[in-house]
Amino acid sequence: MLRAIVLVVLWWSMVAWAQNDELTIEITQGVEGAIPVAVVPFTGPTGLPVELSEVVASDLARSGRFAIPSPQSYPDRPGSLADTRYQRWRGLRVDYLVVGRIQPAAEGYRVVFQLGDVLREDEMLNLSFSVAGNDLRRLGHEIADLVFEAITGEPGAFNSRIAYVSALRQPGGGTYSLVVADSDGYNPRVVLRSTQPIMSPAWSPDANQLAYVSFENNRSQIMVQNVYSGERRVLTDFPGINGAPAWSPDGGQLAFTLSKDGNPEIYVQSLSGGAPRRLTSNTAIDTEPAWLPAGNGLIFTSDRGGEPQLYTVGLDGARPTRLTFQGNYNADASISPTGGQLAMVHRQGGRFAIATMGLQGGNLQVLSAGGLDESPSFAPNGTMIIYATQQGGRGVLATVSVDGRIQQTLVSRDADVREPAWSPKIR
C-alpha cells in the first residue's frame, strides 16, 4: 500500500500539531505507473522548521502523477546538478532529479533548486529564491508546482488553499468554524467561529474572498468575507433559505438558492448590486448551482423528476435540461476549472460516492469507496478532487486523483471536518 512513498508518511507522522484544527494526512492508496522522480534532501543548515524537499516530495506524490523513491535508496546527496553524476541515478530508475541548497541570508534563507532530466543529463529548471523562515512551506509548494509543470506541461496546484467547515461537539452546544488551510492541510486559520451552523464555503476566483452560509442570526444568510482583512458583509438575507453560493468564473456574479418565493429556486445576482434574478421555476427543490466554465449557465440539483438529478440552465432562464440519468441520486456538481468534466455525489447501492462525468454527459466514473461521501471540489488544475467523507463516525476530508488511482485522507484530531472548497491558485 505504501510502496515508494514511505518517506512522505514518515515525515507526516513526525510533525507536531499546534492547533486543534490541524489536519493530518494518511495515504490510503498507492500508485502504479507514476513518473519516478528523486527529490534529494536539500543541502544546508539542519534543524530548519520545514524540510523543504519533503514538502516538495509530499506534494508530488499526492498528485498521483509521480512516484518518489525513499531518500534512503539514493546513491548520493548532491546539492546541485553540477555535482550530480547522472549515471549513478539511472540505477534507481528515476527519470528526473530535484536537487537544491539552502543558505542562511540576512532575513531568512536563500534557496536554489534545480530540476534535472536523468536520461538526457539535462538541466530543466534552475531557480533561486530569498525566503523568510516561516515562508519555507509555501516555497516548497511553489517548487512542487514548478516541477509539476516542467515535467507534465500542465500547471501545478499545490500553492493553493482549502477552506472547510469544522464542527466541534461539546456539551451544551457545538462550535462551528470556517477554516482556511494550505492545500495539504497545513497552516489552518480559523476565519470565523460561531455557535450556529456555517455551511457551503465558496472561493472567489481571485482567492481573496469566501462566500458562505451562516446561521449566526438564527436564520440562514449568505455572507461574503475577505479572508485576509476579515472584513465581511451580508449578501442575502431573505425569508427562508439563503444557500449554496457559487461565484461566476469572472467573479462578477454569485449564483445561490433562495426560497423567498415559496420553495428553493436558483438565482443569480451581480456583486456590484441589484436584485437577485430568478432562473428556475418549479415546485421541486432546485439548489446547489455550479457555474459552467464559460460563465453562460449553471448546473444545479433538482428533484423535479422525483429524485435528485443534475440539470443545466442557461442564464436566460430557458427550460433546464437534465444531465444525469445513471442512478437515482446525483447531486452537488463541482465543475473542473480546466474544463470538460464535473464531479458529483452519486448514490449506488445505498452508498453515496464521488463520481465524475463529462460536461456533455456520458458515463459516470465512480472515484471513491462511498458511504457518506459529499461536497466534491476540484483542484485549480483539475488533477485532483477534495471531498468530505466519514471515518470511524467522524467527518474527515479526502483527496482523490481524477483517475481514481491515488487517495488520501486529511483527519482532524478533535473535530468533524466537512465541506472542503479548493481555492484557485494563489498569486
Partner 1 sequence: MKPILATASLTVLVLLGAGCAQNPPAAASAEVPFGTRNADVYTYEYGSAPAAQAGSGGYSTSAGAGGYAASDLGAPIGAPGSGFGALPSEGQVIYFEFDSAEIRADARPLIRSHAEAVAASTGVMVLLEGHADERGTREYNIGLGEQRGDAVRRLMIASGVSPEQIQVVSYGEERPAALGPDERSMALNRRVEIVY
335 to 354, contacts with partner 1 by CB under 8 A? 345, 352
Contact flag: residue 413 with partner 1 (CB under 8 A): no
Contact flag: residue 35 with partner 1 (CB under 8 A): no
Exposure string of 320-339, with b = 16+ CB inside 10 Å and e = fewer, is beebbeebebbbbbbbbbbe
Contact flag: residue 128 with partner 1 (CB under 8 A): yes
125 DSSP β-pair partners: 115
x/- track of binding to partner 1 for residues 250-289 (CB under 8 A): -------x-x---xx--------------------x-xx-
- Residue 146 or 384: the one with the smaller Cβ distance to partner 1 is 146
Contact flag: residue 200 with partner 1 (CB under 8 A): yes
- Residue 24 or 130: the one with the smaller Cβ distance to partner 1 is 130
- Residue 26 or 216: the one with the smaller Cβ distance to partner 1 is 216
- Residue 69 or 424: the one with the smaller Cβ distance to partner 1 is 424
Contact flag: residue 24 with partner 1 (CB under 8 A): no
Contact flag: residue 423 with partner 1 (CB under 8 A): no
C-alpha distances (whole Å) from 30 to each of 1, 61, 73, 147, 425 are 5, 9, 18, 21, 26
- 138 to 177, contacts with partner 1 by CB under 8 A? 138-139, 142, 145-146, 149-150, 159, 167, 169-176
Q: For residues 136 and 302, give the distance between their C-alpha atoms in angstroms, rounded to a whole number.
A: 45
Contact flag: residue 90 with partner 1 (CB under 8 A): no
- Residue 425 C-beta: closest distance to partner 1, Å: 9
**Out of 53, 269, 368, 375, the residue judged to bind partner 1 by CB under 8 A:** 375
Contact flag: residue 48 with partner 1 (CB under 8 A): no
- Confirm if 74 and 40 have CB atoms less than 8 A apart: yes
- How many residues contact partner 1, by CB under 8 A? 91
109 DSSP β-pair partners: 104, 131
- Residue 216 C-beta: closest distance to partner 1, Å: 4
C-alpha distances (whole Å) from 14 to each of 2, 7, 54, 182, 203 are 17, 11, 12, 18, 31
- Residue 350 C-beta: closest distance to partner 1, Å: 9
**Out of 228, 293, 319, 362, the residue judged to bind partner 1 by CB under 8 A:** 228
Go through the chain and tell me how many residues it has. Answer: 427
Contact flag: residue 122 with partner 1 (CB under 8 A): yes
Contact flag: residue 190 with partner 1 (CB under 8 A): yes
- Confirm if 411 and 420 have CB atoms less than 8 A apart: no
Contact flag: residue 374 with partner 1 (CB under 8 A): yes
- Confirm if 131 and 140 have CB atoms less than 8 A apart: no
- Residue 24 C-beta: closest distance to partner 1, Å: 18
**Out of 33, 47, 91, 230, the residue judged to bind partner 1 by CB under 8 A:** 230
**Out of 26, 76, 121, 123, the residue judged to bind partner 1 by CB under 8 A:** 123
- Confirm if 64 and 403 have CB atoms less than 8 A apart: yes
- Residue 32 C-beta: closest distance to partner 1, Å: 27
Q: For residues 406 and 332, give the distance between their C-alpha atoms in angstroms, rounded to a whole number.
A: 22
